[in-house]
């Protein structure tokens, strides 16, 4: 449990919250969400316990449920966010799939303040987009899976069609954001990089995002069902010059 507390403190959590969360996942000896001992020893910290939405809060329309160890979106538009802390200088791993051939959702990072409704994160955070075929809604490559929605275009195409499982590994390294999709780098963005002008009124506003922010997953609408089976965090380990 000491190792978990230390890792969580690296994200800026208070000692009280760190100890409470560590105790909830470490004292019983049970593996959280079927996390392997190898993953534990490598520093991954599970935020979804595989049983319920403890630690998460939903804002906006629709809702999310847990069944057979998997989170399912219902209706929308809404956002389910982790309430325990802001995160930065870490890698966030998200394993997700669509219900059908294509669906629309997203995973939000660098949300500047605790969200009270669903639109603030859309406008002022980054959305790592889930949408394999944005052309079906008259959008372009800046709105495709693995992009920082409306800000970046693909370095590569690596998505798997619904309903196959996909994996995001989103690295927040200071003011740099890297998205690996199924092991392939598809986004590499640093604050200050050029972005295209806004095309739609539902796109995010340009501007610097915080180094540390809240994270969460979107439920987009009744026809866009997406499933999430893992959300985990791993601190970045950086060497320090002597």
What is the per-residue pLDDT across 114-143, written as a single tens digit (0 to 9) for each?
A: 999 999 999 999 999 999 999 999 999 999
From its phi and psi, is residue 175 left (phi > 0), alpha (psi between -120 and 50) or beta?
A: alpha
Question: Is 86 inside any structural domain?
Answer: yes
Domain count, the chain: 1
Environment class of residue 75 by beta-carbon count within 10 Å: exposed (0-12), middle (13-18) or buried (19+)? middle
Is 30 domain-assigned?
Answer: no
Question: For residue 22, is it within any domain?
Answer: no
Distances (CA, A) of 17 to 8, 34, 155, 193, 224: 9, 23, 38, 35, 34
* CATH code of the domain containing 104: 2.60.120.560
Question: Is pLDDT at 41 greater than 50 in this prediction?
Answer: yes
Q: Are strands 70-74 and 166-173 parallel, antiparallel or unpaired?
A: unpaired
The reply to whether 87 falls in a domain is yes
What was the pLDDT predicted at 2?
A: 36
Q: What is the pTM of this model?
A: 0.85
CA separation for the pair 209, 88 (Å, rounded): 11
Domain carrying residue 195:
46-235
The model's pLDDT over 48-81, given as tens digits with 9 standing for 90+, comes to 999 999 999 999 999 999 999 999 999 999 999 9
Each residue's pLDDT tens digit, 220-237:
999 999 999 999 999 998
Could you tell me if residue 187 is inside a domain?
yes
C-alpha separations of 5 from 23, 42, 86, 194, 241 in Å: 9, 14, 15, 38, 25
Per the domain annotation, does 9 fall within a domain?
Answer: no
Q: How far, in Å, CA of 30 to CA of 39, rounded?
A: 14
pLDDT digits (tens, 9 = 90+) for 83-98: 999 999 999 999 999 9
| 40 burial type by CB count under 10 A (0-12 exposed, 13-18 middle, 19+ buried) | middle
Within a domain: residue 17? no
């Amino acid at each position: 449990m000491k190792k978990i507390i230390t890792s969580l403190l690296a994200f800026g959590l208070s000692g009280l919250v760190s100890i409470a969360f560590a105790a909830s996942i470490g004292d019983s000896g049970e593996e959280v969400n079927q996390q392997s001992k190898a993953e534990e020893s490598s520093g991954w910290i599970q935020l979804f316990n595989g049983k319920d939405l403890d630690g998460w809060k939903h804002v906006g329309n629709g809702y999310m449920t847990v069944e057979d160890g998997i989170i399912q979106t219902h209706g929308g538009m809404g956002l389910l966010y982790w309430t325990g802390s802001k995160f930065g200088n870490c890698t966030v791993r998200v394993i997700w799939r669509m219900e059908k051939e294509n669906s629309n959702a997203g995973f939000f990072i660098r949300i500047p303040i605790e969200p009270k409704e669903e639109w603030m994160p859309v406008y002022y955070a980054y959305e790592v987009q889930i949408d394999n075929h944005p052309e079906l809604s008259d959008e372009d490559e800046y709105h495709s899976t693995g992009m920082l929605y409306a800000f970046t275009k693909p370095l590569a195409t690596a998505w798997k069609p619904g309903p196959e499982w996909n994996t995001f590994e989103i690295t927040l390294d200071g003011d740099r954001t890297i998205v690996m999709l199924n092991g392939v780098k598809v986004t590499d963005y640093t604050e200050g990089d050029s972005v295209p002008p806004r095309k739609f009124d539902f796109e995010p506003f340009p501007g610097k995002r915080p180094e540390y922010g809240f994270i969460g997953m979107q439920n987009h609408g009744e026809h866009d069902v997406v499933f999430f089976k893992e959300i985990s965090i791993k601190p970045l380990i950086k060497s320090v010059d002597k």
